[in-house]
Amino acid sequence: MTRREGSEEIDMEATEAQAGRAGTDTASYPSRRSLANAIRILAMDAVEAANSGHPGMPMGMADIAEVLVNDYLRFNPANPHWVDRDRLIVSNGHGCMLQYALLHLTGYDLPLDEIRNFRQLHSATPGHPEYGLTPGVETTTGPLGQGLANAVGFALAEAALAAEFNRDDGAIVDHWTWCFAGDGCLMEGISHEACSLAGHLGLGKLVVFYDDNGISIDGEVAGWFSDDTPARFEAYGWQVVRDVDGHDADAIVAAIETARGDTTRPTLICCRTVIGWGAPNKQGTEGVHGAALGAAEVAAARARLEWSDDTPFAIPTAIYDAWDHRARGTAVETTWRERYERYAHAHPELASEFTRRQEGALPEDWHKHLMRHLHHVQAEAGSDTASRKSSKAMIEFFAPRLPELFGGSADLSGSNGTDWGGHVVIGAPAYRGNYLHYGVREFAMTAMANGLALHGGYIPFTATFLTFSDYARNAVRMAALMGVRQILIYTHDSIGLGEDGPTHQSVEHVSSLRLIPNLNVWRPADDVETIAAWTAAIERADGPSALALSRQDLPHLDRDVPTAENIFRGGYVIHEPAGEPEALIIATGSEVAPAIAAAGDLAARGRAVRVVSMPCLDVFETQDAAYRALVLPDRIRVRVAVEAGVSALWRHYVGPYGRVLGIDRFGESAPGPELYRHFGLTRADIRSAVEALLESETA
């Protein structure tokens, strides 16, 4: 059975729906236009009530949405988490009132009070769609272009899961990814990266509706955006449906049929629309994009739309009834559940694995297995190696037990150490695999991986050089904001990479990533800390983790069992002197070993110096005060922090009597060890810094 055939029951349902609405305007059944107008009314009124928001897109795309949702979209309002639902991504997220109206009208748990409360504190209807806050919202959008890249990730997840789990006697993964995108999304660079890759991968069950309304915030886009967009997407290998009247339901139906007719290529449907359609004096202008229409224009729009009720938010019962998808939703999910039951009967192990992965649960004994490994490497198998290589070794170790791991790199597979032995590259038409060559596309990679994680079934990790995390920064932020489990492998951290020079040496990046809320940034000091970082990252289900890894070798460090387990606390005492410590050194990553060596030198000179390894400041800060005080006691006032990066975040930890050895300027092109000397970050420099502080303290 082809995947296309698996969608049979949708087609039937779509046909029924179309039949039901044929010859609109009957007394018994509202016209398509009036159904679309309900979206317009809710969008207008909600923006008016909030005196803030974006009416233009919902009013412009209402007719498209009406056709898509009523005739094609397969979903169940009673169960927004049904795993085989179609995904609808609103990449032009400022048009969120379109989505809220759809969710409300079709019967999701989004009552009218929430619509009335649009953009108010603690409402389920924030100013841009937020994943986790509103049932039916698949991803957080607003930062333009990223929803489109998320959608490519969703479609990839569907294709890969289908390839892995579907069997000839049962296609349990068989759904479509639909995406709305505006001019802004298509101007953004990420649209190039994501759509080029989607075309290459031939993701045929991805359909993007381009809201070609000719307007962006500065006015008519013709003044700054004159791409031949259809030709551009054809150059990516997409099927393009040109010149669709986005206010003509029949034309939209025909375009969607064309899209569904080719499952070997993603489809771009270019819809000519009028922004703010229905607002007689403002439609078609930038004035309708991002501000309330005002009472007069709302009234005029009601008249133009022939909307009978002047009461804000009032929707006639017949329209509510026609939009109500609850019964249909239950039916469509039930059909799938029956199919799934047959599948589970025939393939019980596959089915249980499918369920486990959809729930995001880790394999049984996972933690125990990893901890055994950590202790084994600590005590027996440790070696002096670059942390990027330790990372690869760790992937080699756990990947066979974690089939949901989905790796990839932005064209640095070998350098990042992401191409472990068991990696299987995905490429059309062979979607069975666990690895993607993303190409030099850091931003799309990270946003696509957000889509992969949000879809469910995968734990994605992505990789590039730490410096180029900049290129993807807002997608990293979005992962953190959504609480998505993505693991970001950033190798070649800091000056240790050497000759590639300041463009490639990330002096500010580790600290700058630490500032993103809900992102855990790990900078492991050796093979064992790398194992712990990976373990913590995979076990962290509610947010992303970044691993900053070295290009150069790092010595394997000694630890006893409790010390090794303390790595998970983000910061711990890795070296304690014989006597009561009179000073301490805080270090991370490649600077921990020279810090320990410096403490040894100081011991030889009669100085008792503790060394604290701080692989993850974010996690350390969540430890209770007692533990933190144990590691960094107030009484030890002589403190040196050392990290091959900007010093600002460490100044607090060393306190008024301390000193930070860092790099508050850009790097240089030279061999790594020479740069450590140049920037004063060697064992001798650390020793001198502590000594100088101890002397001034006693002076």
Catalytic residue positions, numbered: 442
Distance in Å, CB of 489 to its own copies, minimum: 15
Q: Considering beta carbons, is residue 312 or 439 the nearer one to its own copies? A: 439
Site for its own copies in 263-322 (CB under 8 A): none
The continuous run of DSSP H or E covering 414 comes out as: helix 413-416
Q: Considering beta carbons, is residue 267 or 378 the nearer one to its own copies? A: 267
Note whether 430 binds its own copies by CB under 8 A: no
CA-to-CA distance for 203 and 208, rounded, in angstroms?
Answer: 11
Note whether 52 binds its own copies by CB under 8 A: yes
Q: What is the CA radius of gyration of the chain?
A: 28
Q: 217, 381, 541, 629: which one contacts its own copies (CB under 8 A)?
A: 217
Note whether 470 binds its own copies by CB under 8 A: yes
Q: Considering beta carbons, is residue 580 or 664 the nearer one to its own copies? A: 664
Q: What does the block give as tokens for 142?
A: 């607003």
Q: Considering beta carbons, is residue 191 or 623 the nearer one to its own copies? A: 191
Interacting span for its own copies (CB under 8 A) from 182-190, 487-495, 524-532, 625-633: 182-190
Residue 231: CB atoms within 10 A of its CB come to 10
Distance in Å, CB of 206 to its own copies, minimum: 16
Q: Is 136 helix (H, G, I), strand (E, B) or coil?
A: coil
Q: Bridge-partner residues for 641, per DSSP?
A: 586, 660
Q: Is 189 helix (H, G, I), strand (E, B) or coil?
A: helix
What one-letter code names the amino acid at 612? V
Question: Of the candidates 174, 156, 178, which has an alpha carbon nearest to the alpha carbon of residue 271?
Answer: 178
Q: Considering beta carbons, is residue 26 or 51 the nearer one to its own copies? A: 51
The 642-661 contact track toward its own copies, x by CB under 8 A, reads ----x-xx-xx--xx-----
Could you tell me the sign of the dihedral formed by the alpha carbons of 353, 357, 360, 364, in that order? positive
| Binding site feature residues for substrate | 54, 289, 388, 415, 492, 500, 504, 551
The secondary structure of residue 65, as a DSSP letter, is: H
Q: 138, 193, 591, 685: which one contacts its own copies (CB under 8 A)?
A: 193
Site for its own copies in 572-631 (CB under 8 A): none
Note whether 188 binds its own copies by CB under 8 A: yes
The 56-75 contact track toward its own copies, x by CB under 8 A, reads --------------------
Q: What does the block give as tokens for 514?
A: 């630490």
Residue ranges of the alpha helices (H) in 202-242? 229-235
Report yes or no: 161 and 121 within 8 Å, Cβ to Cβ: no
CA-to-CA distance for 517 and 483, rounded, in angstroms?
Answer: 10
The continuous run of DSSP H or E covering 100 comes out as: helix 96-106
Q: 169, 250, 674, 697: which one contacts its own copies (CB under 8 A)?
A: 674
The continuous run of DSSP H or E covering 254 comes out as: helix 249-261
Interacting span for its own copies (CB under 8 A) from 254-262, 305-313, 355-363, 672-680: 672-680
Length of the chain: 699
Site for its own copies in 345-374 (CB under 8 A): none
Report yes or no: 552 and 589 within 8 Å, Cβ to Cβ: no
Note whether 99 binds its own copies by CB under 8 A: no
| Binding site feature residues for Mg(2+) | 183, 213, 215
Distance in Å, CB of 221 to its own copies, minimum: 7
Report yes or no: 146 and 475 within 8 Å, Cβ to Cβ: yes
Report yes or no: 553 and 386 within 8 Å, Cβ to Cβ: yes
C-alpha dihedral (216, 218, 220, 225), degrees to nearest 10: -70
Note whether 464 binds its own copies by CB under 8 A: no
Site for its own copies in 376-415 (CB under 8 A): 409, 411-415
3-state secondary structure 462-483: EEEEHHHHHHHHHHHHHHHHHC
| Binding site feature residues | 54, 94, 142-144, 183-184, 213, 215, 289, 388, 415, 468, 492, 500, 504, 551
Distance in Å, CB of 481 to its own copies, minimum: 5
CA atoms within 13 A on the CB side of 103: 27
| Binding site feature residues for thiamine diphosphate | 94, 142-144, 184, 213, 289, 468
Distance in Å, CB of 510 to its own copies, minimum: 10
Relative to beta strand 583-587, strand 638-642 is parallel
Distance in Å, CB of 577 to its own copies, minimum: 24
CA–CA distances in Å: residue 601 to residues 373, 528, 595, 596? 32, 24, 10, 9
Interacting span for its own copies (CB under 8 A) from 9-17, 60-68, 226-234, 384-392: 226-234
Question: Of the candidates 91, 504, 31, which has an alpha carbon nearest to the alpha carbon of residue 247?
Answer: 31
Report yes or no: 444 and 438 within 8 Å, Cβ to Cβ: yes
Distance in Å, CB of 648 to its own copies, minimum: 5
Site for its own copies in 435-454 (CB under 8 A): 436-441, 443-444
Residue ranges of the alpha helices (H) in 280-403? 295-304, 317-323, 326-346, 348-359, 366-376, 387-398
Distance in Å, CB of 290 to its own copies, minimum: 8
Note whether 144 binds its own copies by CB under 8 A: yes
Q: 132, 316, 433, 501: which one contacts its own copies (CB under 8 A)?
A: 501
Note whether 200 binds its own copies by CB under 8 A: yes
Q: 396, 500, 565, 576: which one contacts its own copies (CB under 8 A)?
A: 500
Distance in Å, CB of 662 to its own copies, minimum: 11
Q: 85, 119, 373, 556: which one contacts its own copies (CB under 8 A)?
A: 119
CA-to-CA distance for 592 and 370, rounded, in angstroms?
Answer: 23
Interacting span for its own copies (CB under 8 A) from 7-15, 375-383, 674-682, 685-693: 674-682
φ/ψ of residue 436, rounded to 5: -125, 130
Interacting span for its own copies (CB under 8 A) from 6-14, 35-43, 217-225, 260-268: 217-225
Distance in Å, CB of 617 to its own copies, minimum: 9
Q: Is 224 helix (H, G, I), strand (E, B) or coil?
A: coil
Note whether 20 binds its own copies by CB under 8 A: no
DSSP 494-533: SGGG-TT-TTT--SSHHHHHHTSTT-EEE--SSHHHHHHH
Interacting span for its own copies (CB under 8 A) from 137-145, 570-578, 588-596, 600-608: 137-145
Interacting span for its own copies (CB under 8 A) from 107-115, 119-127, 274-282, 308-316: 119-127
Q: Bridge-partner residues for 220, per DSSP?
A: 215
Interacting span for its own copies (CB under 8 A) from 219-227, 253-261, 276-284, 544-552: 219-227
Distance in Å, CB of 200 to its own copies, minimum: 5
Question: Of the candidates 215, 209, 286, which has an alpha carbon nearest to the alpha carbon of residue 244?
Answer: 209
Site for its own copies in 236-265 (CB under 8 A): 236-237
